[in-house]
Amino acid sequence: MTRTSLPIWFLAVISCLSPFGVAIMAPLIPPLAKLLGRPITDLQFLVSAYVLGLAVTQPLVGMASDYLGRRLVLLMGFTFFVLASLGLTLSDGFWPLVIFRFLQAMGAGVGTVIARGLITDQLPPRAALGAFATLTAAMGFTPIVAPVVAGYLVTVAPVRAVFALLVLLGLLVLAGSWLLIPATTARKDRVGLDTYLAGYRQLLGSKVFWSFTLGFGFLQGMFFALLACAALLFEQQFGIGVDRFSLIWSALACVYIVGSTLLSRFALFGQHGVQTRCVLALALVCLMAPALIAGAGLQLFTLLLTLAPLMFLSGLLTPGTMLGAVNAVPQYSGAAAGLSSAGGMCIAAAFTYLGSWAYDSRPESVVGVVAASGLGFAISWWLAQRLQRQQGGLSV
C-alpha cells in the first residue's frame, strides 16, 4: 500500500465502531432497566463490560497486528464482533447481555488499533497528526449519531432492534475491510517472537508512552464520567427526555468535532505553542467549573457552559495525545496503539464508576469528577512534554 492509497476515510469509519458501541447505550439504559426490572446502577455493567472488553483485548490486538499483519487481525476481529452482536440480539437475561457486551467489545476494538497502526506505518509525523485529527473528528461524530439512532429506534421498535443494527454495521465494516485493506499491509520485516517481546518490554518501560497514555485516558474520562448517568441526570434534574437529551448530547459532540476539524485543516493548531495554550485553557476551565456549579447551582445553562469549552478543547488535544503515545516507540506502533487505547479505556472505565457514584451521592458533584479528569490530563501532558525534552525528542 502506498501513502496515497491509504483510505483515511475508511480508517475513520472502522475507528468509530467501538465508540459507537459505547455511545449507543446512553439512551438505552432507562428502557432496559424497566424491561429487565433492574436498578439503573446495575445497567452500568453494560457500559463497563464493553469498556473492559476493549481494555483486555486491545494490547493483544496491537501485538498481533504488528506480528501477523494488520488486515488479518482486522478481519478476524470484525467477524468476532458480528457473532457477539448476534448473540446480544438473541439474549434475554441481564447477565447474558453483560457477557455478550464484553465479547462484542473484544471484536470492535480492532478497528481503533489497526487504524492507528496503519497511519503510523504509512505517513510521516505531520501528515499522521492530520490523519489522527480526522479519526478524532469521526469518533467525535459518533456520539451524535449513536444516541439519536438508538433513541429513535426504541420509540418505534423493541430495544433488541438496536442490537440488530450493530450486527448490520459489523457486516458492513467487515465487507469494507475485505475490499479496502489489502494483504500487503502485513509486516515484511517480521522478527522472531522473542525479539518482538523484548521490544514490547521496551514499550512498557517508556515513561513518555505512559504519560501520553494517561493523558489520553483522562481526556476520555471527561466524557465517560458523564456517559453512564447523563440521560438520567438530564431527565431528573432538568426534566429533559431521551429525545431532547439526544439533541443536546449531539450538539456537544459537534463542538468536539469543530476542535478536531480545525486541527486537521489548519497546521497552526498542531503547533506546540498553540497546543500548550489549549492545555492551559482546559486546566483553567476545570479549576473554575466546580466553583461555578457551587455558586450558581446545577442548571442546564451552567452545565453546558462548563461542558462546551471542554469538548472543544478535547477535540483539539486528543489527536496529538494519541500520536504521542503511538510514536513513543515507533517500530512497535501497533502494540503502542493497542496498549495506549487499552490504558485509556481502563481510566475511562474508572471514571464511569466515579461519575455514577458521584451522581448517586450528589448530582452536582459529577462536574467535579469531570474537572478532576481534565486536570489529570493537563498534568500528564506536561509530564510527557518534560520527558520528551529530557530525551531530546520533539513535542507533539
Task: For residue 269, tell me if it sits in a domain.
Answer: yes
* Confidence at 193, pLDDT banded by 50, 70, 90: low
Could you give the CA distance from residue 235 to residue 237 in angstroms, rounded to a whole number?
6
What SS3 state is found at 364?
coil
DSSP 118-185: HHHHHS-HHHHHHHHHHHHHHHHHHHHHHHHHHHHHHHHS-THHHHHHHHHHHHHHHHHHHHHS-GGG
pLDDT in tens, 337-393: 778 877 887 787 788 788 888 888 888 889 999 999 999 999 999 999 999 888 765
pLDDT in tens, 83-107: 999 999 998 888 999 999 999 999 9
Task: For residue 73, tell me if it sits in a domain.
Answer: yes
As for how many domains the chain has, the answer is 1
| Of 349 and 156, more confident | 156
User: Residues of the chain with pLDDT > 70: what percent?
Assistant: 91
Please state the rounded mean pLDDT for residues 23-49: 80
Task: For residue 53, tell me if it sits in a domain.
Answer: yes
Instruction: Identify the CA nearest to 253 among candidates 215, 289, 226.
Output: 226
Task: For residue 344, tell me if it sits in a domain.
Answer: yes
Domain of residue 329, residue span: 3-391
pLDDT in tens, 309-318: 999 999 899 8
Task: For residue 358, tell me if it sits in a domain.
Answer: yes
pLDDT in tens, 247-281: 787 788 788 888 888 887 887 888 889 999 999 99
DSSP 186-254: S-SS---HHHHHHHHHHHHT-HHHHHHHHHHHHHHHHHHHHHTTHHHHHHHHH---HHHHHHHHHHHHH
C-alpha cell, 188: 515484511
pLDDT attached to residue 153? 86
Burial level of 164, CB count in 10 A (0-12/13-18/19+)?
Answer: middle
Write b or e for each residue in 347-371: b if 16 or more Cβ atoms lie within 10 A of its Cβ, otherwise e: bbbbbbbbbbbbbeeebbbbbbbbb
pTM: 0.74
pLDDT at residue 154 above 70?
Answer: yes
pLDDT at residue 198 above 50?
Answer: yes
Q: What is the CATH number of the domain that holds 324?
A: 1.20.1250.20
Task: For residue 254, tell me if it sits in a domain.
Answer: yes
Q: Which long-range contacts (CB under 8 A, 24 or more apart) does 88-93 make?
A: 88/163, 88/166, 89/160, 89/163, 89/164, 89/166, 89/167, 93/36
pLDDT attached to residue 144? 67
* Confidence at 2, pLDDT banded by 50, 70, 90: very low
Task: For residue 396, tell me if it sits in a domain.
Answer: no
Q: Which residues contact 294 (CB under 8 A, 6 or more apart)?
A: 364
Task: For residue 239, tell me if it sits in a domain.
Answer: yes
Could you give the CA distance from residue 109 to residue 50 in angstroms, rounded to a whole number?
10
